Structure 1
Amino acid sequence: MAQAVGGQAEHKDVLVGVLDDVQDGLNGKSKRISVGEIVASLNDRGFGALCAVIGALAAMPVIGALPGVSIGSAIIVLLIAGQHVIGRRSVWIPKFVANFSIERATFEKGLESVRPYAKWLDGAIRPRLLWFVGGDTERRLIAAAIGVLALVMLPLALIPWGVLPPALAIPAFGIAITGRDGLFALIGYAFVAATAYMLYAFSGVIASLLQGL
């Protein structure tokens, strides 16, 4: 499936606006919500909004702790970031990924739990430090960083809460792009450093777990 990833949202109500778009686009009676529906609900909010929402799913305890969500989120973000790096203006998601679903009640509970934080963050988001987010090169660099983060989420998923640093970095980068806020890009890069440290610190444990699979 393909979804347009066009214009950026204004910095006012950036995150709350994204949450509203998701909820408005997912009005229905089905008991489960698919990844394809989530992507479609964002319409043309853009690459940053997609990464912010999907990355946040892996970071929220109510959703991220569900079996397979961390790995599924990583695969989706990796696909999205890779296509952005090569300059693709629409996102293609394989059918088997688009059909992956979670319970509607769990998803809606997760959205409502993050809304107060979204409102608080919206008050802090504003265009600044644009040399980190303003140009095409900078955005592709962020997309490449997001892709690497998504890739390392796969082995870190073997460690309890191991995906938390990259799962926080990805929404930070998404906010940076969507709100044109370079400060959040710096926060994202700080989480990249934390992710690298965690991968190094637990490399032996991860190797042992992989050998046991």
Structure 2
Amino acid sequence: MARDITTLQEMLDRIGDSGDNEGRVSLGKIVDSVGDRSFGPLLLMVGVIAASPLSGMPGVPTATGVFILLIAMQLFLRRDHFWLPKWLLRRSLAQDKVHKAIRWLLPVARFIDRWLRPRLPALIRGGSIYLISFVCAAIAVVMPMMELVPFSAHGAGLALSAFGLALISRDGLLALIAFAVTAVSFAVVIYQFG
């Protein structure tokens, strides 16, 4: 059994090593290599999109909301990793392109890893996973409304990114910060519609 991933750098290294003999890296191999940490990277990816200027484009918050809901439901069901259809898992990229992207991401991962560490484990284990998945589902449901409130999706994106990083690094303090950012984001939306 493979050792558990605890840093972004380890996750990127494992993704880089997931190629086949033909020099291709399939999405299925990436999901298998990351294992039970696949929810963290997915939340991080969606969070970065929601926190970026892309979330100002019409339809982007709603589309990300649908994807977040899929992630949250499977996280709530405690699946080993994110389920995707087989035809999508077979999609692949050239291994050299994956390695180029990893080389570009490694300095960022090393910087972030310096700040993350396993702490406050009660906030990212057991029943807390249900709470994280519920909060992510609530963010997903509110995302379409965030299209009407300028910059509110950015706060939700930061919260989702923090949840993703917390799940990857087993950092309960970061999960606590994500809960706080979510509460502030919801307060802004409620204030705007109240």
TM-score after normalising by structure 1: 0.66
CA RMSD of aligned residues (A): 4.0
8 Å contact from structure 1 (residues 81, 146) kept in 2: yes
Which runs of 5 or more structure 1 residues have no equivalent in the other structure? 1-5, 27-36, 99-109, 205-213
1:182-204 deviation per Cα after TM superposition (whole angstroms, max 9, x unaligned)? 11011101111111211112115
TM-score after normalising by structure 2: 0.71
Q: CA, structure 1 residues 82+42, in 2 after alignment: closer, same or farther (shift >3 Å)?
A: same
Match among 39, 54, 66 for residue 47 of structure 1: 39
Determine whether 1:198 maps to 2:185.
no
8 Å contact from structure 2 (residues 74, 82) kept in 1: yes
Q: CA, structure 1 residues 177+66, in 2 after alignment: closer, same or farther (shift >3 Å)?
A: same
* Counterpart for residue 140 of structure 2: 150
8 Å contact from structure 2 (residues 58, 147) kept in 1: no
1:82-136 deviation per Cα after TM superposition (whole angstroms, max 9, x unaligned)? 12213334434579xx7xxxxxxxxxxx999976554322101111111111x32
1:46-101 deviation per Cα after TM superposition (whole angstroms, max 9, x unaligned)? 2122211222122123x444543332222111111012213334434579xx7xxx
Distance in 2, Cα, partners of 1:65 & 1:39: 31
Matching of residues 1-213 of structure 1 within 5 Å: 9-10=5-6, 14-18=7-11, 41-43=30-32, 44=35, 45-61=37-53, 63-93=54-84, 117-133=108-124, 135-203=125-193
Which runs of 5 or more structure 2 residues have no equivalent in the other structure? 20-25, 89-100
SS across alignment from 2:180: helix
Q: % of aligned pairs identical?
A: 32
1:165 maps to a residue whose letter is G
SS across alignment from 1:160: coil
Identify, as 1 or 2, the structure richer in helix: 2
Q: CA, structure 1 residues 75+39, in 2 after alignment: closer, same or farther (shift >3 Å)?
A: farther
SS across alignment from 2:162: helix
Aligned length, in residue pairs: 182
SS across alignment from 2:79: coil
SS across alignment from 1:87: coil
Distance in 1, Cα, partners of 2:131 & 2:161: 15
